[in-house]
Structure 1
Amino acid sequence: MLELPVTSALLASLGAARARGAPYPHWLLSHVLPEALPEEICALPLAPPAIGDTQGRRETHNSTRLFFGTAARADYPACAALARAFQSQEVTDRLQALTGARLRGSFLRIEYCQDRDGFWLEPHTDIGAKFFTLLIYLNDPPAGENWGTDIYTSPEACLGPAPSGRNRGLIFVPGTDTWHGFETRRITGVRRTLIVNYVTPEWRARHELAYPEAPIG
């Protein structure tokens, strides 16, 4: 997997992004990655973790989480190609122009999530240490099921899920009103998602960062 096709696909997808202003500014993407890349990531030899009581938080199962850090980039070409693209000035400049996010000096963090039936996330905002959030859905849910991230108008009011077809995405810049989560519902099989964040330089878990010694810009 070469870096150029990943960067080109990202830039094309961002150029065709659909902006939405309510309940907070967010952008819907399609064809985010080259067609072969989701398949390569889904084929990584990484068993989906068993789902116990997550308490509505991903960090409940920290030991089972996969980040595209230094080790994953060295072991898996697909992880390396994706990280290089999101680290590139071309992509970060385009993300800043599209969303207004301030990424200079931040650090790239990419998480690969494999969720089974029983998974849920309480409404939260990502505010604080995260300057930018992009979710990329890697597989199509079965008919009648929607595995997209739920968007809320408030912690108590769920507006509904973002489109979650294969290779679609959702972008938002964390703020006090960017409530999102995942309501409890049936997951047949495995829900696979990439979460791309740019985070504060003070991020403590340095192993989670794609390039822990190289800030953006």
Structure 2
Amino acid sequence: MRESVAVQQPPAEAEKSSAEDIIRAFTQSVENGKRSDQPYPHWIVRACLPADTVDDILALPFEAPSLEGVSGKRELHNNTRKYFDVENRKAFPVCEAVAQAFQDERVINQIESTFGTDLTGTYLRMEFAQDIDGFWLEPHSDLGVKLFTMLLYLSKDPRHGDLGTDIYDGDKRHVGRSPFEPNAAMIFVPADNTFHGFEKRPIKGVRTSLIINYVTDEWRAREQLAFPEAPIA
């Protein structure tokens, strides 16, 4: 009589984090965030997204675009910038999940109450940024049509520890730099003194981040928006 041999089944693929999971992670990160009032109010928050969500964003099949020897402003390369827009929400589940989370009224309410901004009538804009050597940004404030800015750092390269956002005072004097940690973010509400940028320095590999803004109806590039027909209620 033959002994029965159990057939080992391959492990089931882990279920991906949903928008609800992302909401929970972000809510907790904001509750544990650290505020600084110098030189303007800004927050550092950590563990912003579930770990698998970060991995899925990093796995998006977008190549880092060439700078063609030009930098200083992101808008100089508008033709190669990538967004969690309508097209990419449809194509990639992680883009859809993250966008749905940041469109959710619970996230909106927490942002408004914690950071002191009114997002009524604004639109969600999420840019997937991939910065390579030669990239730099001049000091700018984001004041105008942006009512909230979150710079979410993603890349896990250990060489990126000094690639955080540079912080300037009202006279555009360099006064500090945010920590660049994967799944951590710098958050602020744009004002006339919220100067930030990126001092030119060597970038090994690709510096990857997600830039999350809520913008007013005056934003002209509607194709960049996650939900161009659905302003925040």
TM-score (norm 1): 0.97
State the match for 1:64 in structure 2: 80
State the match for 1:6 in structure 2: 22
State the match for 1:109 in structure 2: 125
Secondary structure, counterpart of 1:110 in structure 2: strand
- In the TM superposition, what is the alpha-carbon distance from 1:53 to its structure 2 partner? 3.2
State the match for 2:93 in structure 1: 77
Secondary structure, counterpart of 2:87 in structure 1: helix
The structure having more radius of gyration, on CA atoms, is 2
- Tell me which amino acid in the other structure corresponds to 2:53: L
State the match for 2:218 in structure 1: 202
Compared with structure 1, are the counterparts of its residues 139 and 55 closer, same or farther at alpha carbon in structure 2 (3 Å cutoff)? closer
TM-score (norm 2): 0.90
1:171-213 C-alpha deviation (Å, 9 max, x unpaired): 0000000000000001000000100000011211111110001
Matches within 5 A, 1:18-37: 18-37=34-53
- In the TM superposition, what is the alpha-carbon distance from 1:58 to its structure 2 partner? 0.2
> RMSD of the TM alignment (CA)?
1.2
Compared with structure 1, are the counterparts of its residues 50 and 109 closer, same or farther at alpha carbon in structure 2 (3 Å cutoff)? same
Matches within 5 A, 1:14-163: 14-143=30-159, 145-163=161-179
**Unaligned stretches of 5+ residues in structure 2:** 1-15
Regions of 4+ moved over 4 Å: none
Q: How many residues align?
A: 217
Contact preservation (8 Å) 2:178, 2:186: yes
- In the TM superposition, what is the alpha-carbon distance from 1:127 to its structure 2 partner? 0.3
**Unaligned stretches of 5+ residues in structure 1:** none
- Of stretches 51-60 and 141-150 in structure 1, the one that deviates more from structure 2 is 141-150
2:159 and 2:128 mapped to 1: Cα distance? 23
1:132 and 1:144 mapped to 2: Cα distance? 25
